[in-house]
């Protein structure tokens, strides 16, 4: 499968890093010669120095025979123009990154004319990720599956947690919840655990459960926090706008801190239900004057990663119960997770997940199609939702009789009989045609449901 990527910034580099290990024929077009050299040498791909909107450069990169063109350069206009040109040259599918709220709001109007197969908006996706976390206080990350019937939640077990010392084989019985812990990060090491694994305070765990079960689980494990009603957002740019818009639609009290007076006026006009304050969101004296300690949540979304981490630490020292930060550099994720107990969102990682799901769905789906795809635990683990086809090799066979590859965990089955029944499966359970199946793995690149079976 031939894929051409235009733009080698954070998102482009993340896509290259993810896909280069999956045997795709990759080409990259980038204007910065240093990025061209670095990505070309690191991943052994065809890296071309040039303008991705240039017909000549696109032809040189082989766009005419490309199965997919992904335009993720810094300019929205260039990305849309590139996709239009790529489609005219013969590319089968195109994806564009579009961040500007005005353009993004109009995509339904002109997406067909541009020939777009998919549009990704990293800042809007990051905002949605934070909004989902704030709906479930105590969680650090929330991913939704099966049209919201099932959620995968990341949380850190607090000091003195009731889950401390509990073996996973006993977890559901102890806490009377239909839930499964599918990944644990401890001291920087990620484990896909089995029933003999013992939990400890400080573990960062990923839990799969029906949405209806999660609040009860949080209550019984002592992770529950007060419901979020009052939120402060600090930071400039599209992510702040999207998050403020989402939260105000949910009738939360939202205050946005913005340095630029002109941007403050623009935000106030666009979001009349949001309180907009002109000031420096990294100034601790200013934050005290705004009574930060009285807020239920703080989202720090500036483009300065170090400032975001410091402000988050300050907010947690004041007792703000829910803190989320935007982090542009993936390399800082481990550091941020060590010093901040709240949510850390990387827009490039979030957007890359949408693109990788689309790529794998194009690459063929033996046994069942990918319905959703998320990278969790800082991008080291994949969680995939498959729709099970009648022809699948796994249908009708008890899980204990399937030769499932090592490092793969079938975490949840959502029955396709219109009941919406969710099953945390045991060895005697089997997958039926029409079911949705959630699978977690840290060591395999799955394209279809049948890929879970070993030889």
Cβ–Cβ < 8 Å for 326, 308? yes
Cβ–Cβ < 8 Å for 36, 49? yes
Closest CA to 361 of 436, 445, 447: 447
CATH 3.30.70.1450 domain locations along the chain: 127-221, 364-452
CA distance 110 to 103: 10
The fold of 2-120 is Rossmann fold (3.40.50)
CA distance 96 to 18: 18
Residue 300, token pair as written in the block = 């720090």
The 10s digit of each residue's pLDDT in 280-324 is: 999 999 999 999 999 999 999 999 999 999 999 999 999 999 999
DSSP-assigned letters across all residues of 234-273: E--SHHHHHHHHHHHHTT-EEEEEES-HHHHHHHHHH-TT
The 10s digit of each residue's pLDDT in 78-110 is: 999 999 999 999 999 999 999 998 888 888 777
Task: State whether residue 289 is helix, strand or coil.
Answer: helix
Lowest-pLDDT choice from 41-50, 361-370, 375-384: 361-370
What angle, 0 to 180 degrees and rounded to 10, lies between the N-to-C axes of helices 261-270 and 238-249? 30
Residue 30, token pair as written in the block = 């980038």
Q: Between 313 and 222, where is the model more confident?
A: 313
* Percent with pLDDT over 90 in the chain: 74
Closest CA to 83 of 156, 29, 129: 29
- Residue 363 pLDDT greater than 90, yes or no: no
The 10s digit of each residue's pLDDT in 176-193 is: 888 999 999 998 899 999
CA distance 74 to 70: 13
Closest CA to 298 of 229, 246, 232: 232
CATH class in words for 364-452: alpha beta
CA distance 241 to 256: 9
Cβ–Cβ < 8 Å for 308, 327? yes
- Domain 127-221, CATH number (from 3.40.50.720, 3.40.50.12590, 3.40.30.10, 3.30.70.1450): 3.30.70.1450
CATH 3.40.50.720 domain locations along the chain: 2-120, 230-320
Q: What is the DSSP letter of 321?
A: S
- Residue 221 pLDDT greater than 80, yes or no: no
> In the CATH scheme, what is the homologous superfamily, with its name and number, of domain 230-320?
NAD(P)-binding Rossmann-like Domain (3.40.50.720)
pLDDT at 113: 81
């Amino acid at each position: 499968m031939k894929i051409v990527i235009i733009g080698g910034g954070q998102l482009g580099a993340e896509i290259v890093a993810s896909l280069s290990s999956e045997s795709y024929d990759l080409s990259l077009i980038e204007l910065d010669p240093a990025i061209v050299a670095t990505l070309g040498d690191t991943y052994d791909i065809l890296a071309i120095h040039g303008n991705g909107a240039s017909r000549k450069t696109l032809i040189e990169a082989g766009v005419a025979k490309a199965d997919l063109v992904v335009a993720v350069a810094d300019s929205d206009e260039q990305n849309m123009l590139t996709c239009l040109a790529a489609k005219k040259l013969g590319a089968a599918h195109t994806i564009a990154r579009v961040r500007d709220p005005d353009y993004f709001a109009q995509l339904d109007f002109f997406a067909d004319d541009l020939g777009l197969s998919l549009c990704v908006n990293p800042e809007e996706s990051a905002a949605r990720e934070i909004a989902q976390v704030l709906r479930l206080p105590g969680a650090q990350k929330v991913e939704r599956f099966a049209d919201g019937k099932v959620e995968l939640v990341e949380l850190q077990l607090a000091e003195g947690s009731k889950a401390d010392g509990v073996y996973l084989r006993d977890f559901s019985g102890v806490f009377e919840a239909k839930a499964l812990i599918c990944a644990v990060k401890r001291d920087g090491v990620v484990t896909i655990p089995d029933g003999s694994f013992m939990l400890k305070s400080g573990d960062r765990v990923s839990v799969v459960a029906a949405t209806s079960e999660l609040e009860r689980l949080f209550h019984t494990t002592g992770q529950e926090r007060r419901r979020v009603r009052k939120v402060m957002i600090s930071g400039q740019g599209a992510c702040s706008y999207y998050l403020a818009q989402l939260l105000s639609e949910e009738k939360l009290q939202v205050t946005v801190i913005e340095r630029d007076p002109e941007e403050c006026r623009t935000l106030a006009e666009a979001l009349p239900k949001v309180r907009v304050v002109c000031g420096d969101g990294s100034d601790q004296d200013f934050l005290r004057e705004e009574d930060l300690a009285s807020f239920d949540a703080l989202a720090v979304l500036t483009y300065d990663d170090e400032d975001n981490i410091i402000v988050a630490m300050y907010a947690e020292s004041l007792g703000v119960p829910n803190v989320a930060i935007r982090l542009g550099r993936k390399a800082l994720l481990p550091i941020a997770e060590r010093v901040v107990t709240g949510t850390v969102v990387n827009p490039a990682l979030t957007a890359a997940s949408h693109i990788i799901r689309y790529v794998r769905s194009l690459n063929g789906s033996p046994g069942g199609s990918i319905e959703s795809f998320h990278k969790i635990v800082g991008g080291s683990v994949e969680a995939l939702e498959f729709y099970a086809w009648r022809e699948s090799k796994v249908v009708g066979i008890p899980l204990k009789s399937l030769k499932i590859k090592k490092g793969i965990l079938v975490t949840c089955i959502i029955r396709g009989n219109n009941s919406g029944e969710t099953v945390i499966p045991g060895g005697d359970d089997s997958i039926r045609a029409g079911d949705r199946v959630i699978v977690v793995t840290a060591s395999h690149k799955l394209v279809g449901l049948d890929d879970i079976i070993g030889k």
